[in-house]
Structure formats: C-alpha cells, structure tokens
Structure 1
Amino acid sequence: MAGGLILLWFLLLALPATVAIAVHGVIQLCANASRAWFSRHYINFRIVAIISSGGALAAVGLALVNYTPNTAIVSLLIGLMPLLVWIPKAWFRFDAARPGHAFCCGVVAGGLTIASGVSGPTIDIFFIRTHMDRRQIVATKAAVQVISHSIKIVFYLSAALTLNMGQWGLILLAIPFAIFGTRSGNAILRRLTDARFRYWTRWIVTAIGAFYFVQGLLMVY
C-alpha cells in the first residue's frame, strides 16, 4: 500500500513536480486497477462512488485557483500525512462506510492527491477504523485510487504532454513491474491478520513520511 510513496520519490528526482505527479498517476492507475481487479469481489462500490464525487469537487476547486506544486511542497505534504494515522481513535470516529464521512474523505484525499501526488495515508484514517476486513479495505481503496489517479492525470495532462516518446516508452516499461508488485502484495496480504495489517500500514507509511519531511525541510532551508 506504500508503493506509490516510494515510486513518487524516484520520479521527483528525475522530473519536475507537475510531470512527476502526472507520470505517477499513469503508473499507479495501472497498479491500482490490477489490485482492484484481483480483489474485485471485495469492493464496496457505494463507498467508491461517494469518495470519488468528493475528489472531483476538490479537483475543480484546485483548478479554479490554478494550483501548481513544486518538489519541496510535495515532500512536506507527504511527510506530514502519516501523522494522521497516529491520531488517537477517541479523537474522532471517521468511517468510510458512512456517506458524510466518505464524501469528506473524497474532498480531503482528492485535494491531497492533486496537491502532493498521493493521499493513501489520509484515506487510511477513514478505512482503518471501519468494520471492513483487510481485503475489503485494500480492494475498495484500490478502486477509489483508480478514479483519483484518473482525475490527477487529467489535471496535469498539459505537463505530461511535455514528455517525448522515448520517456513514455520507459514509463510503459514500469507498468508491468507495478502490476507484478501488486500481485505479490496480494499474496502477502493473505498471510496477514487484520491486526498485523493495520500495524504494518502505520509503521511503513510513517517511516517513508519521515524521510519525505526531512527532504522537504532540506529543500526549503
């Protein structure tokens, strides 16, 4: 579930932030589409529809203010996201199964997907406290991300079109590896309990987020 965070870091090393986010969207769209397909029987489509509508609204808002990211902003935003999964459960009762919460999830996560390229840790706080099991969480989140990345690609389409055919060829070569990683992840998922899944999700995204945050601070100062 944290593969997208790692992928974006490599892309930001080689490309401007707007182009990196667009390319990330293309690769992650394919990876999440494969994950959603492999787990399609566990997808909650009602939740997907509500969250996606909130994400579309966020995209319109950012387009109206002509938002343009840079690598420092992206790094700081991603670095702060993992803090959300450590907020004590008693502080809030977010639940993606509740329509109002799902829509808020879409607005917040959709805005962060465009602003920073990823939003997985944000979506997690709406899913990790639901009564859904790990398979339903992964499948439904993957379906949500398919739509989120599609919106992100459209938002940064003009930046993506600056790449030449050779660069797109390399990007297309990365897609099968992303799908293979997703397939491997599903095999690991079957071996985890729900408790272990939640435990490792928190620690992995926190470690990666800390690295991003330090990188962002170094760029600013």
Structure 2
Amino acid sequence: MIALVFFAIVFLTALLSGIFGMAGGLLLLWFLLLALPASVAIVVHGVIQLCSNASRAWFSRHYINARIVAVIASGGALSAIALALIGYHPNTTIVSLLIGVMPILVWIPKAWFHFDAARPSHAFGCGIVAGGLTIAAGVSGPTIDLFFIRTAMDRRQIVATKAAVQVIAHAIKIVFYAGSALALSGEQWGVVALAVPFAILGTRAGNGMLRRLTDANFRYWTRWIVTVIGGFYLLQGLLL
C-alpha cells in the first residue's frame, strides 16, 4: 500500500513538473522528508527527478539551449566542490526553511532583476547559486527562474532548458550524497526503481498539457502553485 501511494505521488508530481517545470519536484521532496532523513530524502529525490527531468528534456529536446546548459552546469559543479570542502550536511529544518522562503522570489517585480541566462556571466552565476541550493536544500527551481525571466525564450524553451540543467544538477546532487544511499535497503531501492516509469509517464502527460497552455497562464499558475507549496515548507520549518 505504501509503495502504491508512493507511485501515485511520483506520477502526480512528475505531471506537475511536466507542465510547470519545477513545482512537482518541490512537492515530491516534501513528501519524502516526512518519511526519510534529509540527506536520504534528497538523494532519493535526486534519482527520481533525474529520470523525470531527463525524460522531459528528451520530449522537448528541440527547444534546449545547450550553451546555457553547459555554462550553468559549470557553475553548479563549482558550488558542489565548495560545499564538499566545508563538509555540509543537511537536516529537515534547514531544508524546509530554505525552500519555504524561495517562493518570495517569484513575487518580486521583474524590473528589480536584470539577469539573463543567455549571457554567459549570468548563466555561470545562476549555476553557482542554483547549484548550491540544489545540494543544500534539494531543489532550486524558483532561483533558476530569476535568470530566465528576461530571456527571449517561450515557455517550451524555458521548460526544456531548465530540465536539461536539472538533469546535471540532480546528478551532481546524487554523487554528493552517495554515502546516504546506503541507509536504504535493496528492497527500498527496488521500489524507487519501480517508481521511475511513473515519473516518465507523468512527465509525458504533463508535456502534452504544457502545449495547451499560454505563456501568460504558465507564468500565473507557476507563481501560485510554488507559493502554496513553499508555505507548507515554511510552516514545517518553523514548527521544527
């Protein structure tokens, strides 16, 4: 029964990510944190999200900007090295508070920011900030968005390029927390492996729904969904 509920959550959160590019990952990690220590939850989240984002990137591969992906990934690798050197180790309180305040970013007026992921220096800065948050908190979607709001990309290019960036970010995260993976038994990892097809199916379904959204509706609903999820995280962090 627990496995079936887990599969359903993976499918629905992948569906959400397929439409909006990030909200599903936030929600999936929240459920994982209810049952697992932070570092273990982050690595399980990384495995599922890597597969989900990889399928999303593949379905939208014609819209990916490979140059932006490469520059952002190099910044993320630098952040991972820095966090490894200081011996960073997460806990549920820190993760919840970090994610809980992220939705504030989607409400700040666009005029306040002059970031453009199409500019190499900005893309590298995005990699450093978002890469650090991906390892420290498990996710960084709202932060990455700040660097895409001034690009000339449409919603399909944004979702596709972000998916490719997240594939690399989650791979780095998995390597960073590889030791935590030993906390799960082979049977539990078997359940995680069985959940991967549900992530891919959810992503495919969400990708179809994305085509029917307008750019205006895409941005409007992303803002509200991320805010509500962030509110749950912030409340959890304050209670802890």
What TM-score range do you get, normalising by the shorter chain?
over 0.9
Q: Which residue does the alignment assign to 2:194?
A: 173
Q: Is the 8 A contact 1:26 1:153 kept in 2?
A: yes
Q: Tell me the TM-score normalized by structure 2.
A: 0.90
CA-atom RMSD in angstroms: 0.8
Equivalent residues in 2 for 1:179-194, closer than 5 Å: 179-194=200-215
**1:154 partner amino acid:** V
Which amino acid is 1:170 matched to?
V
Residues 48 and 195 in structure 2, CA contact (< 8 A), matched pair in contact too: yes
Does structure 1 residue 27 correspond to structure 2 residue 51?
Answer: no
Q: Which residue of 2 aligns with 1:38?
A: 59
1:149-192 CA-to-partner distances (Å, cap 9, x unmatched) read 00000000000122111110111121111111111111111001
Query: How big is the shift at 1:85?
Result: 1.4
Amino acid at match of 1:161: L
Answering whether residue 225 of structure 2 is matched by residue 211 of structure 1, we say: no
For the 8 Å contact 2:28–2:45, the answer to whether it is kept is yes
Which residue in 2 is equivalent to 1:108?
129
2:150 aligned with 1:129, yes or no?
Answer: yes
CA distance in structure 1 between the partners assigned to 2:41 and 2:228 by the alignment? 22
CA distance in 1 between counterparts of 2:135 and 2:80 reads: 7
2:159 matched to 1:138?
A: yes
- Give aligned-pair identity as a percent: 79
Tell me the equivalent position of 2:180. Answer: 159
Matches of 1:184 and 1:175 in 2, distance apart?
14
Gaps of at least 5 residues in structure 2 are 1-20
Tell me by how many angstroms 1:130 deviates. 1.6
Runs of 4+ in 1 over 2 A off after TM superposition: none
How many residues are aligned here?
219
Distance of 1:41 and 1:156 partners within structure 2: 32
Could you say what secondary structure the match of 2:183 adopts?
A: coil
Look up the match of 2:37: 16
| Counterpart Cα distance in 2 of 1:75 and 1:25 | 16
- Find the aligned partners of 1:100 and 1:195 in 2 and give their Cα distance: 28
Structure 1 unaligned blocks of 5 or more: none
195-204 vs 151-160, which moves further = 195-204
The more displaced of 61-70 and 88-97 is 88-97
Q: Is the 8 A contact 1:50 1:99 kept in 2?
A: yes
Q: Counterparts of 1:40 and 1:170 in 2: how far apart (Å)?
A: 29
TM-score, normalised relative to structure 1? 0.97
Q: Which amino acid aligns with 1:121?
A: P
